Amino acid sequence: MITPDAIGTFALIVGLLTLTPGLDTALILRTAALGHRRRAWGVVLGIQSGTLVWGVLTSLGVTALLTASHLAYETLRWAGAAYLVWTGGRLLWATWRRSSSESPRTAETGPETETKAGADETLLGGWRQGFVTNLLNPKMGAFYVAVLPQFIPADAPHLAPGVLLAGIHILLAVIWACVLIALSHVLRNRLQRPSTRRCLDRVTGTVIAAFGIRLALGQ
């Protein structure tokens, strides 16, 4: 069995990891700030589904094969980098297009405009984005391979303790996501101004693309 001290230490490590601003934080904040709370929760659930998958695969020893195989790791790394750069670039391109074609009439944010813009902002769409983003990040697999086995007793079955520890990580991440979504809801009126939305999308797109480039460079 995992000792309480081990659980506390693991919770501290993943808690600090969760609080560190990164790709997950940028995705959740951007989605929630635009008023798409359902899609924001989809993103949260997708990210944590990916975390659970990494925890299970690590407990079964599958991710150890990923880090041991240079070809497998490089394939996943380049796939993740391409996806992140494409996602970030698409956000940036959309803001530039809106900026160049915007007029006083089209700058309105009335119900009809919001409906068209948010027609595809579904829970499933958010889940898909969060899940793919998390699962295509080989650094998550490397982190779990490096950290998780240290907290699982060598003579104990690995699956149940591994899922328990991944569940602690997920719980802390969901609590932090609640804080981010609540903060975005409080600032919603300010964040939904057209100029602010463009700025938010540009910042988010830049962050996502930068993560992709860093991943491609192996940093």
Total domain count, the chain: 1
Q: Which helix (H) or strand (E) holds 202?
A: helix 194-216
Helix axes of 123-135 and 37-59: crossing angle, nearest 10 degrees: 40
CB 170 within 8 A of CB 52: yes
Domain membership flag for residue 16? no
Q: What is the pLDDT along the chain (219 residues), one digit of tens a residue?
A: 778 888 999 999 999 888 887 788 888 988 888 778 889 999 999 999 999 999 998 888 776 666 666 777 777 778 878 887 888 888 788 777 766 655 444 444 443 334 344 445 789 999 999 999 888 877 787 788 778 878 877 776 778 888 999 999 999 999 999 999 998 888 777 766 777 777 877 887 888 788 778 877 875
The whole-model pTM stands at 0.74
Domain membership flag for residue 199? yes
pLDDT for residue 103 = 46
Q: Which amino acid is at 174?
A: V
pLDDT for residue 65 = 66
Range of the domain at 172: 23-95+122-216
pLDDT for residue 66 = 63
Domain membership flag for residue 110? no
Domain membership flag for residue 7? no
Domain membership flag for residue 147? yes
Domain membership flag for residue 115? no
Q: Which amino acid is at 69?
A: S
Radius of gyration in angstroms for the set of CA atoms belonging to the chain, rounded to a whole number = 19
Domain membership flag for residue 63? yes
Helix axes of 23-33 and 123-135: crossing angle, nearest 10 degrees: 170
pLDDT for residue 45 = 96
pLDDT for residue 115 = 38
- The closest of 194, 191, 69 to 142, measured between CA atoms, is 69
Domain membership flag for residue 182? yes
Q: How far, in Å, CA of 31 to CA of 39, rounded?
A: 7
